[in-house]
Chain A
Amino acid sequence: MEKAEEKRHTIVPFGPQHPVLPEPLHFDFVLEDEKVVDVIPSIGYIHRGLEILVQKREFTEYVYVAERICGICSFIHGMGYCEAIEEIMKISVPERAKYLRLIWSELSRVHSHLLWLGLAADAFGFENLFMQAWRARELVLDIIEETTGGRVIFGACKIGGVRKDITDESLKTMVTVIDGMYKDVRTICDVFLNDSSVKERLCGIGILSREDAYSLGAVGPMLRASGVSYDTRKLGYGAFGDIDFDIVTETAGDCYARCAVRVHEIFQSFHIIKQAISKIPGGPISVKVTGAPNGEAMVRYEQPRGEVIYYVKANGTKFLTRFRARTPTFANIPAMIQALKGCDFADVANIVLTIDPCISCTER
């Protein structure tokens, strides 16, 4: 009798130091020949304990810490923290400040997506595309530097409003720069969406079904690329209630769909910024904050990588009891594991990158 063929499993460690990963993340891949049959993720190499620091920094100073959770989506971390405190203290932020926050948060989204597009191009071996994406990103960083003085960590948000205003002249210049970027970024993005070699690496790879994306708690482009129309900006927080935009979704759930969602969201953000500039009201940019917060609040916002949750608990002193940030990458890990199962080992790097992992956020 012929002996039944045994399936032999090989465990391959991946990371925490790996050329495709800018930050430490580890996986143990269980392989059957070249197919991934199981994945065990491991994070926690650089946990910084920033959340507990809220007990040692005054709540007004902690904005600076919140911004430093991440070097890419820093502004929205600061904004989310401020808005949670403002909700507890029932502070009404001036309308102009809400619009300024919106403009800077959407600029953050554009530069984050362009950064990701560059990293993705680098991962699938398209060096020139990587350089073009990052060159375009520089233009966005220049706008941010011009309006805030910073490039990735702005320090522009504070409890009760914003620290800096943008002059009408600068807003007009911003529109001109964005109009100029449309064609440039479109050319780059057309390569991402239409080039046959890019499609070869992304189409049909790392598929995440709509059901899995939802039930595993995926957020952001990871969720929307699987056909779920959910974008926290539709809650209308800040000035988003005055802005008209459609949620970008794709249905294939593969690496290409996740790439396409981010590409379309770049142009969506341009559209949102231009709308905000056309509607921004005059007036003050902040209100005076007195007293200390007492109570709790849970708020959610749309980071470039997806929904982020902030929970703040205060006891009436200058020092908060708890600050909690549930970041998008943390929520996307289970969905990423699902997308990796069944893939070829050679596609692992691409799939991991298409969730746009931010370990800095995850290891807050």
Chain B
Amino acid sequence: MTENKMMIDIGSDEVLSRVQSYQQGGYRLVQMCCVREPAGNVPADHLELHYTFGRDYEMVDLKFSIPPGAAIESITQIYPCAFLYENEIHDLYGVSIQGINIDFQGNFYKMAAAHPFNPDIEPGQAQKEK
């Protein structure tokens, strides 16, 4: 079997509609993660987010960038299991995510430093802090 996987660049304003369409298309949420140093013409201080979905052996990765300090909408209303990934992205990178169904308020990972994967963010810049 040949692996069928795609990476698709999207705008941050079309995330929810895209995610909704994958949910309706029978895709499961595979993973979500955050990356610094986005590719292409995106400013270096932006963060890149990857939302990955799978159906059978097909895998689709949506990636989009957000400016520093920007808040994004949770997708837990569409995929309830996304709360783990969203809390992780908040705790490690300081991304503010609004409307998470189970929000650990910055206590998902018990760490000495706030947002250790994103030293550019000032402590307290993210909306939810310990």
Instruction: For the complex formed, measure the closest distance between the CB of B2 and the CB atoms of chain A, giving whole angstroms.
Output: 8
Contact of A291 with B by CB under 8 A: no
On whether A44 and B108 interact (CB within 8 A), knowing A235-B57, A334-B84, the answer reads yes
Q: Which residue of B lies closest to A231 (CB)?
A: B57
Majority-rule SS of A interface residues: mixed
**Contacts A216-B81, A334-B80 given; does A298 touch B5 at CB 8 Å:** yes
Q: How far is the CB of B32 from chain A (nearest CB, A)?
A: 9
A-contacting residues, B1-54, CB 8 Å: 1-3, 5, 7, 28-31, 33, 35-37, 39, 50, 52
- A271 close to B (CB within 8 Å): no
Which stretch of B64-72, B110-118, B120-128 is in the interface? B110-118
B37 near A321 (CB under 8 angstroms)? yes
CB nearest to B116 among chain A residues? A49
Q: Does B61 contact A (CB under 8 A)?
A: yes
Question: In the complex the two chains form, is B39's CB within 8 Å of A296's CB?
Answer: yes
Closest CB-CB distance, A311 to chain B, in whole Å? 6
Q: Which of B80-95 contact A (CB under 8 A)?
A: 80-81, 83-84, 91
- How far, in Å, is A233 (CB) from chain B's closest CB? 10
Q: Number of contacting residues on A, CB 8 A?
A: 37
Tell me which residues across on chain B come within 8 A of A47, comparing CB atoms.
109-111
- Min CB distance A55 to B, Å, is 9
Cross-chain contact of A326 among B30, B107, B111 (Cβ < 8 A): B30
**From A43, A52, A217, A296, contact of B81 by CB (8 A):** A217
Our pick among B30, B35, B108, B109 for the contact of A309 (Cβ within 8 Å) is: B30
By the criterion CB–CB under 8 Å, are A326 and B33 in contact? yes
Does B59 sit at the interface, judged by CB under 8 A? yes
Residues of B within 8 A of A (CB): 1-3, 5, 7, 28-31, 33, 35-37, 39, 50, 52, 56-57, 59, 61, 79-81, 83-84, 91, 102, 104, 107-111, 116-117
| 5 residue pairs, one from A and one from B, having the closest CB atoms | A44-B109, A334-B81, A326-B31, A47-B109, A322-B35
